[in-house]
Chains A and B, each alone.
Chain A
Amino acid sequence: DSGVTQTPKHLITATGQRVTLRCSPRSGDLSVYWYQQSLDQGLQFLIHYYNGEERAKGNILERFSAQQFPDLHSELNLSSLELGDSALYFCASSPQGGGSQETQYFGPGTRLLVL
């Protein structure tokens, strides 16, 4: 158990809908990262938050957005869902903003299926 929690574990929804994925980092960690794992794209970085502030964006679609709250939990919002958004979404956390020695610890993931 990495100490990172994600809810829900599974999510089934329809095209055009909106969903919210939630992540709680390890106790004391200030950074949260979101990744998407799909069969065709592999593991892709989406976005990084540090202590409530956005630090970097990766291949995140405009239909997707994220935020990190004062209690450091983070939410990833996916809207106008398409079939291709079906994937495993991971949250990871690290103690600081990503220093040279930092390991990212991953949550169990949320498996999203868009029908």
Chain B
Amino acid sequence: AQKITQTQPGMFVQEKEAVTLDCTYDTSDPSYGLFWYKQPSSGEMIFLIYQGSYDQQNATEGRYSLNFQKARKSANLVISASQLGDSAMYFCAMREGMGSSYKLIFGSGTRLLVRP
């Protein structure tokens, strides 16, 4: 079965510094997608970045980049120049399924706190 593991329940980072949130996954499917979502204290789930299993380059979206190491089955999120507004829960997710459904499987999340 497909699985997502986030081993860091909580992390601190100083404002303006970079931080890496870890995510490892397990799948036997050669075609899959990896996603990161941000959940601030208000509760909504905000899509940040996507990486496809066949993508040759690491995905980037503004201050977010995904360090994709396929052989190690890791998809770490890197946030550069942290801001106070980055304080939130971060979830790594993998798209499961072929054909009829592509449900997301989520990790347990990492709570990031940015210090001023």
Chain A interface (Cβ < 8 Å from any Cβ of B): 2, 33, 35, 42-43, 45, 48, 55-56, 58, 88, 90, 92, 94, 97-109, 111
With A42-B106, A43-B106, A45-B105: A98-B44 Cβ-Cβ less than 8 Å: no
Tell me whether B103 and A56 are in contact (CB under 8 A): yes
Tell me whether A108 and B103 are in contact (CB under 8 A): no
Tell me whether B47 and A109 are in contact (CB under 8 A): no
In the complex the two chains form, what is the Cα distance from A98 to B101 in whole Å?
6
A contact residues around B43 at 8 Å (CB): 88, 108-109, 111
With A42-B108, A100-B31, A100-B52: A109-B45 Cβ-Cβ less than 8 Å: yes
With A42-B109, A56-B97, A100-B33: A106-B102 Cβ-Cβ less than 8 Å: no
Tell me whether A43 and B102 are in contact (CB under 8 A): no
B35 at the interface (CB under 8 A from A): yes
Size of B's binding interface in residues, CB under 8 A: 24
Tell me whether A2 and B47 are in contact (CB under 8 A): yes
B25 at the interface (CB under 8 A from A): no
A contact residues around B106 at 8 Å (CB): 42-43
In the complex the two chains form, what is the Cα distance from A33 to B102 in whole Å?
10
Contact residue among B37, B44, B100 (Cβ-Cβ distance under 8 Å from A55)? B100
B50 at the interface (CB under 8 A from A): yes
Residues 20-69 (chain B) with a chain A CB within 8 angstroms: 31, 33, 35, 37, 43-47, 50, 52
B contact residues around A106 at 8 Å (CB): 37, 44-47
Can you list 21 contacts pairing A with B, beta carbon distance less than 8 Å?
A2-B47, A33-B104, A43-B106, A56-B97, A56-B100, A56-B103, A92-B104, A98-B97, A98-B102, A100-B31, A100-B33, A102-B33, A102-B102, A105-B47, A106-B37, A106-B44, A106-B45, A106-B46, A106-B47, A107-B44, A108-B43
Tell me whether B104 and A48 are in contact (CB under 8 A): no
Closest 3 CB pairs of A and B: A98-B102, A56-B101, A106-B45
Give a binary string over B79-116; 1 marks a CB under 8 Å from any A CB, 0 the rest: 00000000000010101010011111110110000000
With A43-B91, A108-B44: A55-B101 Cβ-Cβ less than 8 Å: yes
